[in-house]
């Protein structure tokens, strides 16, 4: 029960950082060598690796954030995450495998909101001195057609 609560807290913090546009905090939810990927389910079920984002380690995540802030050009937009069904698949004292559902609404220019992405997270969470962190987070999305572009991690 306590573990479930702690994992929920980690996830709540994670989505709040993204939805509140505190992107510089986003890599800090991972271990330094943690992995983050966004992969369409159609590839995932075939065992194919191609996806939208593949960050292997915090360095690549920070590069992504700097690029978003400084280099890339896009319309102002924000996400609102809705997550549910956090499930613990396996656990040891310091490592937990979980899955949960996510729905991301994207609002562009504070005018229109659409379902941007729907899928599930498959996470490996590890205990560190600073608390629980993602060692691996994969967002497996089901609506394969990405509308216009994806800038912000989900």
Q: Which is nearer to another protein, 134 or 141 (CB)?
A: 141
Encoded tokens for 8 = 């929920």
* Nearest distance, CB of residue 39 and another protein, angstroms: 8
* Nearest distance, CB of residue 72 and another protein, angstroms: 6
Strands (E), 13-76: 30-40, 53-56
Q: How far apart are CA 152 and CA 77, in angstroms?
A: 9
Residues ≥6 apart with Cβ < 8 Å to 136: 34, 35, 36, 122, 123, 124
* Nearest distance, CB of residue 150 and another protein, angstroms: 4
Q: Which is nearer to another protein, 2 or 145 (CB)?
A: 145
* Nearest distance, CB of residue 74 and another protein, angstroms: 6
Residues that bind another protein (CB under 8 A): 38, 40, 42-43, 46, 48-57, 59-60, 62-64, 66-67, 70-75, 144-151
Which phi-psi region, left, alpha or beta, contains residue 63 (left: φ > 0; alpha: ψ -120 to 50)?
A: alpha
Q: Which is nearer to another protein, 1 or 144 (CB)?
A: 144
End-to-end CA distance of the chain: 26
Q: Which is nearer to another protein, 8 or 78 (CB)?
A: 78
Q: How far apart are CA 63 and CA 83, in angstroms?
A: 26
Residues ≥6 apart with Cβ < 8 Å to 72: 151
Q: Which is nearer to another protein, 19 or 63 (CB)?
A: 63
* Nearest distance, CB of residue 27 and another protein, angstroms: 10
């Amino acid at each position: 029960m306590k573990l479930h609560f702690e994992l929920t807290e980690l996830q709540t913090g994670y989505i709040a950082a993204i939805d509140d546009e505190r992107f510089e905090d986003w890599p800090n939810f991972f271990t330094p060598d943690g992995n983050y990927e966004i992969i369409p389910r159609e590839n995932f079920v075939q065992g194919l690796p191609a996806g939208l984002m593949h960050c292997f380690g915090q360095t690549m995540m920070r590069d992504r954030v700097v690029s978003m802030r400084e280099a890339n050009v896009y319309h102002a937009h924000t996400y609102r995450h809705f997550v549910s069904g956090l499930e613990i698949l396996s656990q040891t004292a310091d490592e937990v495998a979980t899955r949960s559902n996510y729905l991301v609404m994207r609002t562009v220019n504070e005018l229109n909101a659409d379902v941007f992405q729907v899928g599930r997270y498959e996470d490996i969470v590890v205990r560190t001195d600073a608390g629980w962190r993602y060692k691996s987070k994969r967002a497996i999305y089901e609506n394969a057609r990405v509308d216009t572009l994806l800038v912000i991690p989900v």
